[in-house]
Structure 1
Amino acid sequence: MNITWKGEFKRTELSIEGMDYEIFEKIDNEGNSEYSLRGPLGLDMDNNELLTKLLQIKRKEK
């Protein structure tokens, strides 16, 4: 299997009430974003609306 990705990845660390999360943002060449979230139990969740809000909160904190 040959996989090619043209775009960019961004990783954001986030701590909510002492629990650590990682948000992964995959941006294609057209500027579209797709998010995934890894929580403290290693669970992967796909919820773009929630992740978008979390990233907006995180960016405001900086």
Structure 2
Amino acid sequence: MPVSAVQPSMKKRDGRLVSRAVLEEMRLMALQRMGEGESPAEVASSFGLHRGWAYKVLARAQ
């Protein structure tokens, strides 16, 4: 996808700028969605984070 096609709302989010409470809620929602079969890459992308974040969340939960 060309860079110009990326919508402003799809910018990556820096997890360091999000409060701990919000990050914890995001982790719980991510685990639930991945448990329902959604891929870690899709979940992370929907939060505006790198897919590695979702894989780390999944690994820590196991």
Shorter-chain TM band: 0.3 to 0.5
Q: Under a length normalisation based on structure 2, what TM-score does the superposition of the two structures give?
A: 0.35
Higher strand share: 1
* TM-score, L = length of structure 1: 0.35
